Chain A
Amino acid sequence: GIQVEQSPPDLILQEGANSTLRCNFSDSVNNLQWFHQNPWGQLINLFYIPSGTKQNGRLSATTVATERYSLLYISSSQTTDSGVYFCAVGGGAQKLVFGQGTRLTINP
């Protein structure tokens, strides 16, 4: 099955810093999503991005499907950005395979 690797596993930044989270996957995919799991455990949809680039406020994402990776950019970090960021991919079927996540801590 598809393997998903996220890096870095942990990231600690000061408020206002920028960050880049990476997701590598082992096979071609039809579906790729980025999620933010907040400190209360909720999974928040950030991007549905099987290919191309999208932006939403301070967050943007790029997926290069031919090279099997996706990047999530967070600019001007805020303490509310803290939490775990997951990349999840789907191949021929609709089910998602999750990476291990990147734990982001933003210090004031």
Chain B
Amino acid sequence: DAEITQSPRHKITETGRQVTLACHQTWNHNNMFWYRQDLGHGLRLIHYSYGVQDTNKGEVSDGYSVSRSNTEDLPLTLESAASSQTSVYFCASSVGRRAEAFFGQGTRLTVV
């Protein structure tokens, strides 16, 4: 079955380290998104992509970057992890302009 998967599911890292979270989808969706979920803030958009080589900043993009070299993957990189980036991260994908989005299982990241 087509799906969207995130890895790792849990990660603990130290302040200042570079961290990359993976997101892979097999639906051939052109749209991919990264959100973070924090208590009291719901889900907020970090970065998104509408296709290969396209990336855009979302509401809370500082300290994060993404790249889209193929349709299936949108890795999220924390350049220098900070304790404020401790959160649960969700990846999502959708096809087209008016289409349902589907979410991965989430990655719980702890920065110590």
Contact = CB atoms under 8 A, between A and B. Distances in A.
A42 B107 CA distance: 11
B50 A94 contact: yes
B36 to A, nearest CB: 11
Contacts, number: 53
Interface residues of B, number: 27
A95 B103 contact: no
Given A42-B105, A43-B103, A45-B102, A94 B94 contact: yes
Q: Determine the interface band of chain A, counting residues with CB < 8 A from chain B.
A: 20 to 34
Interface of A: 30-31, 33, 35, 41-43, 45, 48, 50, 86, 88, 94-101
Q: Is the interface of B mostly helix, strand, loop or mixed?
A: strand
Contacts of B43: 86, 88, 98
Contacts of B88: 41
Given A33-B100, A94-B99, A95-B48, A43 B90 contact: yes
A95 B93 CA distance: 10
